[in-house]
């Protein structure tokens, strides 16, 4: 029976546990990256056979051929947080005549917060090492504290958060933790773009005003406006979002985005997903960006162009809102239906002719007509100012050609 120990090395030799060192001493063979093996070889009491392999297949191949009875695999960082340990454990557990175990080290997150003198039981954890970082914005907006492992991309992280309106947010930086050139300091998000930090850096974003609300029908006054650029009003927006029934990870289209008010509410609901705001009028594009930043959103991508051509390269949508079609309604419906026949779609219209066109394409659509009025104070009295009646058409799936 071969005994295989996957050992989390934490921040390095000083933070490996006594159990980990014991397993390393007993192991006849070590596997790991060249950097990690070089760190630990000086601490070994006797020479070890070392293999600078870090991939599952190479390690399994060598273990199969090895006559050693005790083997150790050194994995950097935290063995339970985006670590190679997970894949290795699953694969090695399938080997015949092998006993596999994981020994964790002192994690970077634990050491970092200990150095800061702060607890981290309520902190949200995120890895930006080799992963899409877009979702970081939503986490920072929704949580009072977010810990982030980086990988040579702190400038990109800073630019992303600054673009989402978080330039003044406080960020704590831990650079080269556990190594000779360790640094620990605080700054603001806007400074990350100018700092040349080591790839071995971690960040803690402190948000004193987190906002995890999912808001339908945000007051119209909360949005930036421009004359001549239409905006779906609050009461209609609330009805549209209710009909869309978004999930947190949905991919959404807002076609004919105008000011981007629907895009904003979509992004707040699908906070782990992505919203594509498609707008053909060049003058509206910067306005959508302005409103995206106003609500601290990083998951809204603004597409300047006319549908359906502008949809060609976009990923398959889960939900689609069509607020403006520029006369291309049939083609747009066909395009999104081809991408995902099971999508949820809501279309608004203010003319009977548009309703007729939509129903000719989608006879199964549910149709409601919404009339709303907004109060306005005149002296000591309140008047109701009627808004244009709007038709709302909803389709759930059934878009097969």
In this prediction, residue 401 carries a pLDDT of 66
Q: Other CB atoms closer than 10 Å to residue 247's CB: what's the count?
A: 14
Measured in degrees and rounded to the nearest 5, phi and psi for residue 379 equal 65, -125
Measured in degrees and rounded to the nearest 5, phi and psi for residue 49 equal -80, 120
The domain at 109-206 falls in which architecture?
2-Layer Sandwich (3.30)
Q: How do beta strands 381-386 and 319-322 pair?
A: unpaired
Tell me the domain boundaries of the chain.
Answer: 2-106, 109-206, 220-396
End-to-end CA distance of the chain: 59
Closest CA to 167 of 134, 199, 140: 140
Does 2-106 carry CATH code 3.40.1010.10?
A: yes
Query: Which residues touch 121 (CB under 8 Å, ≥6 apart)?
Result: none
Q: What is the DSSP string of 127-158?
A: E-SSS--THHHHHHHH-SEEEEE-SS-HHHHH
Specify whether the CB–CB gap between 255 and 307 falls below 8 A: yes
The domain at 220-396 falls in which architecture?
3-Layer(aba) Sandwich (3.40)
Tokens of 364: 């199964």
Note down pLDDT in tens along the chain; length 401 residues.
899 999 998 888 888 889 999 999 999 999 998 888 888 888 777 878 888 887 888 898 888 888 899 999 999 878 888 888 889 999 898 888 889 999 998 989 999 999 999 999 999 999 999 889 999 999 999 999 999 999 999 999 999 999 999 999 999 999 999 888 899 999 999 999 999 999 999 999 999 999 999 999 999 999 999 999 999 999 999 999 999 999 999 999 999 999 999 999 999 999 999 999 999 999 999 999 999 999 999 999 999 999 999 999 999 999 999 998 888 999 999 999 999 999 999 999 999 999 999 999 999 999 999 887 778 888 888 888 777 789 999 999 888 76
Identical topology for domains 2-106 and 220-396 = no
């Amino acid at each position: 029976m071969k005994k295989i120990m996957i050992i989390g090395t934490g921040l390095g030799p000083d933070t490996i546990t006594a159990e980990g060192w014991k397993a390393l001493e007993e192991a006849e063979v070590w596997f790991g990256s060249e950097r990690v093996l070089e760190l630990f070889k000086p601490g070994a009491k006797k020479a070890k056979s070392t293999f600078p392999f870090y991939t599952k297949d190479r390690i399994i191949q060598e273990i199969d051929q090895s006559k050693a009875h005790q083997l150790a695999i050194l994995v950097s960082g935290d063995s339970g947080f985006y670590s190679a340990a997970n894949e290795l454990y699953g694969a090695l557990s399938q080997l015949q005549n092998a006993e596999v175990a994981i020994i964790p080290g002192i994690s970077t997150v634990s050491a970092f917060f200990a150095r800061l003198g702060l607890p981290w039981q309520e902190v949200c954890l995120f890895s930006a090492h080799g992963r899409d970082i877009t979702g970081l914005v939503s986490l920072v907006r929704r949580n009072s504290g977010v810990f982030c492992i980086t990988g040579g991309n702190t400038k990109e992280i800073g630019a992303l958060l600054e673009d989402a309106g978080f330039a003044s947010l406080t960020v704590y930086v831990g650079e080269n933790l556990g190594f000779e050139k360790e640094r620990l300091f605080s700054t603001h998000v806007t400074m990350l773009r100018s700092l040349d930090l080591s790839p071995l850096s971690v960040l803690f974003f402190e948000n004193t005003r987190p906002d995890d609300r999912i808001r339908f029908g945000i007051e119209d006054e909360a949005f930036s406006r421009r004359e001549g650029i239409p905006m779906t009003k609050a009461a209609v927006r609330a009805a549209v979002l209710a009909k869309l029934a978004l999930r947190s990870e949905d991919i959404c289209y807002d076609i004919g985005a105008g000011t981007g008010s629907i895009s904003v509410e979509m992004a707040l609901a699908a906070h782990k997903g992505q919203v594509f705001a498609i707008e053909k009028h060049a003058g509206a594009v910067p306005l959508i960006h302005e409103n995206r930043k106003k609500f601290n959103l990083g998951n809204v991508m603004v597409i300047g162009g006319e549908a359906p051509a502008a949809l060609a390269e976009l990923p398959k949508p889960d939900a689609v809102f069509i607020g403006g079609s520029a006369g291309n309604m049939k083609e747009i419906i066909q395009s999104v239906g081809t991408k995902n026949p099971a999508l949820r779609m809501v279309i608004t219209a203010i003319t009977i002719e548009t309703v007729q066109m939509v129903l000719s394409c989608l006879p199964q659509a549910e149709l409601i007509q919404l009339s709303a009025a907004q109060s306005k104070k005149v002296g000591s009295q309140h008047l109701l100012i009627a808004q244009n009646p709007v038709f709302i058409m909803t389709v759930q799936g059934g878009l097969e050609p």
